[in-house]
Amino acid sequence: MITLPRSSGILLHPTSLPGDYGIGDLGRGAYRFVDWLKAQGQTIWQVLPLGPTSYGDSPYQTLSAFAGNSNLISFDRLVEDGLLDKGDLADTPPFPKDRVDYGWAIPFHNQKLALAYHKFAANPAPALSQAFRQFVSENHFWLGDFALFIALKRQHKQRPWTAWESELRRRDPAALAAARAACAEQINLERFRQWLFNRQWSALKQYAQGKGIRLIGDLPIFVAHDSADVWAHQSEYFLDENGSPSVIAGVPPDYFSPTGQRWGNPLYRWDVMKAAGYTWWIERIKALLCLVDFIRIDHFRGFEAYWEIPASEPTAVKGRWVEGPGAPLFEAIAAALGELPIIAEDLGVITPGVEKLRDDFGLPGMKVLHFAWNGPANPFLPHNHRVNSLVYTGTHDNNTTRGWWENEVDEQTRAFVKDYLGQDVQDIVWTMARVGMRSPAKVFIMPMQDVLGLGEEARMNRPGVAAGNWTWRITDAALTHPGKEALLHLTRLHQRHPDQQQ
């Protein structure tokens, strides 16, 4: 069981940070944000999954469960390390400051990282070269397969691994050996990019810890089909003879969608993973804990039971609940790694079995205020909050609080909010912040969009909508917005400031 002090923090993905190169990165904007958190009495920075994104740009559908998103690498930090010159960045395009244009930013980042690699390979500084070799050695469990996977995807014009030659698809040892030899330079480039991400993120984490800021990372329960993980561990997934999923993950009809959500991720063969001692899961948790202090596991309820959808079905309606791995998985992880600094995303259809699994391991759960307002028994209302939980105004999947109030809340709900509060709502954002701060839950988290009072235009994700997500960014001006003063005031008023922690 992890012990969290009464505290508060901000949800902001690094891609949303300010910066000059088309996407938030781990440079000046990230360090300024840590300083901003410190100044506002916040002690938690929560991020979304940090992996390398693919089609659709979703951090929940990545090319690896272990690798980092190399688009987050700061070019200015590479200049400091001597891996780029300032002149190398003179051709930086006029990227938009308030959103990410992935189609424009990613090729530019790939070009500059390749240039940095060639400079490193041509004249490696001894200290950097040693650090690179050490990183490769320490991450052998996943790094070799990932680097080869990315090199082969480039060779095959980004086609999914199921469209490769059968020898590579089936991982024939001779074919893999030949590919490693033919793609040696590309493989080393990918190792280099992962090393740079790890190096810069580790430095940022150390800086944050020095400021009293702890990081909450995010771990999706399922992985993308077109990923190094599925390609390298095919026997641990329900796949047909061609490598395509026979059944896929999703959720039944819910708050977000009347037809449910058909995620498309392949499902684990938990019996095979159990027979292997859950090694892949232990290594996955171990790797992420090198980057963050706590792990929020997305769709935690899938460990108790998950929604299995035949791959041939166009929606999630015709699925079924299938028993998950349950306690033995967490027992194996705890036996290997010790205390579980895990937060359970226990939203959606939650059963007594899910609650028991969460509580047996002392894992904090989540409460979302946007979901709270349909009657006094609602578990998301503050008087029903458990102490061992985190309360949010909304999450990355919700509208902003202002957007929710303006576009999604009906008159009946407005009347209940007024009745519950005992007064009219003057400013919904800071009203919800005050309600969340007042909660008995140990931790309160507020998306940065809410601090800035932004509407629906600043929403990070719309579940079930394939395009246009994950693009929102802040500018440097956001860090001077007067919302910071309200945040600091409420943090002190409700004894969540670090100076007030026992």
Stated as kind and residue range, the H or E segment containing 218 is: strand 214-220
pLDDT at residue 328 in the model: 98
pLDDT (tens digit per residue) in 146-174? 999 999 999 999 999 999 999 999 999 99
For residue 500, give the nearest of 11, 7, 2, 162 by alpha carbon: 7
pLDDT at residue 23 in the model: 98
Decide if 342 is inside a domain: no
What average pLDDT does the segment 238-256 reach? 91
pLDDT at residue 4 in the model: 85
Question: Is the pLDDT assigned to residue 63 strictly greater than 90?
Answer: yes
Strand extents, DSSP E, 228-275: 247-251, 261-266
- Stated pTM of the model: 0.97
Within its chain, how far is the Cα of 328 from the centroid?
A: 25
Decide if 323 is inside a domain: yes
Q: What is the 3-state secondary structure (H, E, C) of 345-383?
A: CCCCCCCHHHHHHHHHCCCCEEEEHHHCCCCCCCCCCHH
pLDDT at residue 501 in the model: 78
Question: Is the pLDDT assigned to residue 47 strictly greater than 80?
Answer: yes
Question: Is the pLDDT assigned to residue 1 strictly greater than 70?
Answer: no
* Banded model confidence at residue 253, pLDDT cuts 50, 70, 90: confident
Within its chain, how far is the Cα of 456 from the centroid?
A: 21
Q: Compute CA distances 329 → 143, 285, 306, 344, whole Å.
A: 24, 12, 15, 14
Range of the domain at 255: 233-285+301-334+350-362
Stated as kind and residue range, the H or E segment containing 11 is: strand 7-11
Burial of 500 (0-12, 13-18, 19+ CB in 10 A): middle
First-last CA distance in the chain = 18
- DSSP structural state of residue 482: T
Question: Is the pLDDT assigned to residue 255 strictly greater than 80?
Answer: no
In whole angstroms, what is the distance from residue 410 CA to residue 430 CA?
A: 19
Q: Are the CB atoms for 303 and 325 separated by under 8 Å?
A: yes
Q: Are strands 389-392 and 365-368 parallel, antiparallel or unpaired?
A: parallel
pLDDT (tens digit per residue) in 348-392? 879 999 999 999 999 999 999 999 999 999 999 999 999 999 999
In whole angstroms, what is the distance from residue 254 CA to residue 319 CA?
A: 13
pLDDT at residue 216 in the model: 98
In whole angstroms, what is the distance from residue 313 CA to residue 319 CA?
A: 9
Decide if 247 is inside a domain: yes
* Banded model confidence at residue 256, pLDDT cuts 50, 70, 90: low
What average pLDDT does the segment 129-141 reach? 98
Phi, psi of 27 (to 5 degrees): -100, -140
Decide if 251 is inside a domain: yes
Residue 107: CB partners within 8 Å, gap ≥ 6? none
Q: Are the CB atoms for 368 and 394 separated by under 8 Å?
A: yes
Decide if 356 is inside a domain: yes
How would you list the strands of the sheet with 389-392, edge to edge? Answer: 342-344, 294-298, 214-220, 44-46, 7-11, 443-447, 389-392, 365-368
The full DSSP string for 91-120 is: T-----SSB--HHHHHHHHHHHHHHHHHHH
Decide if 237 is inside a domain: yes
- DSSP structural state of residue 86: G
Average pLDDT, the chain: 96
In whole angstroms, what is the distance from residue 241 CA to residue 234 CA?
A: 10
pLDDT at residue 87 in the model: 98
> Which residues are catalytic, by number?
298, 345, 397
Strand extents, DSSP E, 271-364: 294-298, 305-310, 320-323, 342-344
Please give the residue that has the higher pLDDT: either 89 or 258: 89
pLDDT (tens digit per residue) in 418-431? 999 999 999 999 99
pLDDT (tens digit per residue) in 191-208? 999 999 999 999 999 999
What average pLDDT does the segment 229-245 reach? 97
Q: Please report, rounded to a whole number, the percentage of residues in the chain having pLDDT higher than 70.
A: 99
> Per the structure, how many domains does the chain have?
1
CA atoms within 13 A of residue 348's CA, in its CB half-sphere: 23
Lowest mean pLDDT among 2-11, 189-198, 236-245, 308-317: 2-11
* Banded model confidence at residue 414, pLDDT cuts 50, 70, 90: very high
Token representation of residue 267? 């499902």
pLDDT at residue 308 in the model: 98
CA atoms within 13 A of residue 34's CA, in its CB half-sphere: 20
pLDDT (tens digit per residue) in 392-410? 999 999 999 999 999 999 9
pLDDT (tens digit per residue) in 435-475? 999 999 999 999 999 999 999 999 999 987 888 999 999 99
Decide if 218 is inside a domain: no
CA atoms within 13 A of residue 35's CA, in its CB half-sphere: 9
Decide if 269 is inside a domain: yes
